[in-house]
């Protein structure tokens, strides 16, 4: 994909799993020339309210979908802790769980999926989801994502999730494949796959699913690297979890990772992996290879809870 700097495109910049790797330069980079929307896929910290406060204070249009780490203690106790309550309060409407944000400049509506996902078949704590969102099952969660899509102004959608959907592969290096514990198997979210199936059945177009959670560097095989950019049919799946998102370049420069997508009239025109230095200046922008997956999405069982 060719690098595009066309002023007619809208800029949707993604921040992958943060895990507390956030520098003053990262705020400078975003605030100096704010993207049309900045999308955080979550795992800011481990219920780290100060980290959430820094993101909430960014003077740019943004949406956040909190990850499993952002609700770590709450899952342990099966109840919403003070820290999680404070995080949700700080983010307010910028926390996009089961809701929609319009981006007219891009021609898309951004839909928020289920927050705090750990991946796999279980919600981990239906008690916690029930307390915050009135949801106890994968099917209820799928219905809530679909409801958000019903309120979208555009027919072209971007879905923001913490973890990606089921159905994109079972190998450890697949975009949402399980690389830990007993490795192998599809670690995608069933509610999200079901929601996408229904949304497309309504005649809406899911142009992209933007997520993270499954980190780029693999535990099995150790040293392996995950495939993070795939397309199936008309949908792009982007996994922004380059972790840690700050690295040392060979010349000693410290660079941090952003994923920039450019949009016009509801279509993604370009994707670039962007590295930013300690002054908030862009140092590299490279278009990743997007792997085309064969076939169609596997049908998700509508009857399973």
Strands (E), the chain: 10-15, 37-40, 62-64, 100-103, 108-112, 156-160, 205-211, 229-232, 235-239, 246-248, 254-264, 267-276, 282-286, 291-292
- Report, in Å, the least distance between residue 295 CB and Fe ion: 28
Q: Which of 16, 35, 45, 67 binds Fe ion (CB under 5 A)?
A: 67
Q: Which of 213, 228, 245, 262 binds Fe ion (CB under 5 A)?
A: 213
- Segment contacting Fe ion by CB under 5 A, of 12-20, 31-39, 81-89, 102-110: 12-20
Number of residues lying near Fe ion (CB under 5 A): 5
Please classify residue 304 by burial: count the beta carbons closer than 10 Å to its beta carbon, then call 0-12 exposed, 13-18 middle and 19+ buried. Answer: exposed
Residue 43 near Fe ion by CB under 5 A: yes
**Tokens read off for 171:** 């190998």
Q: Compare residues 66 and 108 and give the one whose CB is closer to Fe ion.
A: 66
**Tokens read off for 81:** 């802790």
Q: Compare residues 68 and 256 and give the one whose CB is closer to Fe ion.
A: 68
Q: Compare residues 113 and 149 and give the one whose CB is closer to Fe ion.
A: 113
Q: Compare residues 65 and 142 and give the one whose CB is closer to Fe ion.
A: 65
- Report, in Å, the least distance between residue 252 CB and Fe ion: 27
Q: Compare residues 40 and 98 and give the one whose CB is closer to Fe ion.
A: 40
Residue 68 near Fe ion by CB under 5 A: yes
- Report, in Å, the least distance between residue 294 CB and Fe ion: 28
Kindly report the number of other CB atoms within 10 A of residue 140's CB atom.
18
How are the residues of the chain apportioned to helix, strand and coil, as percentages rounded to the nearest 5?
Answer: 25, 25, 50
Interaction residues for Fe ion, span 13-32 (CB under 5 A): 17
Q: Quick one: DSSP state of residue 189?
A: B
**Tokens read off for 154:** 């555009």
- Segment contacting Fe ion by CB under 5 A, of 72-80, 186-194, 207-215, 232-240: 207-215
Q: Decide: helix, strand or coil at residue 17.
A: coil
Handedness of CA 268, 269, 275, 281 (dihedral sign): negative
Tell me which residues touch Fe ion (CB under 5 A): 17, 43, 67-68, 213
């Amino acid at each position: 994909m060719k690098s595009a700097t066309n002023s007619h495109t809208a800029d949707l910049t993604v921040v992958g799993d943060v895990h507390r790797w956030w520098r003053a330069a990262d705020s400078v980079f975003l605030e100096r020339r704010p993207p049309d929307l900045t999308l955080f896929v979550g795992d800011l910290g481990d219920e780290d309210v100060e980290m959430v406060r820094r993101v909430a204070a960014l003077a740019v249009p943004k949406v956040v979908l909190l990850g499993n780490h952002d609700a770590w203690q709450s899952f342990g106790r099966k109840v919403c802790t003070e820290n999680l309550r404070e995080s949700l309060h700080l983010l307010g409407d910028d926390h996009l769980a089961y809701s929609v944000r319009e981006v007219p400049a891009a021609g898309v509506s951004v839909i928020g999926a289920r927050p705090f996902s750990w991946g796999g078949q279980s919600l981990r704590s239906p008690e916690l989801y029930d307390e915050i969102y009135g949801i106890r099952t994968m099917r209820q969660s799928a219905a809530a994502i679909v409801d958000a899509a019903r309120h979208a102004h555009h027919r072209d959608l971007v879905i923001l999730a913490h973890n990606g959907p089921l159905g994109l592969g079972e190998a450890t290096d697949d975009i949402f494949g399980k690389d830990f514990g007993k490795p192998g198997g599809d670690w995608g979210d069933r509610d999200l796959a079901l929601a996408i199936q229904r949304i497309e059945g309504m005649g809406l177009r899911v142009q992209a699913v933007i997520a993270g959670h499954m980190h780029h560097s693999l535990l099995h095989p150790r040293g392996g690297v995950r495939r993070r950019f795939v397309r199936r049919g008309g949908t792009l799946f982007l996994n922004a979890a380059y972790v840690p998102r700050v690295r040392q370049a060979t010349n000693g420069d410290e660079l941090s990772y952003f994923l920039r997508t450019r949009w016009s009239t509801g279509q993604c025109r370009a994707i670039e992996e962007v590295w930013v230095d300690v002054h908030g200046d862009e140092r590299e922008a490279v278009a990743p290879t997007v792997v085309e997956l064969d076939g169609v999405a596997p049908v998700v069982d509508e009857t399973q809870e």
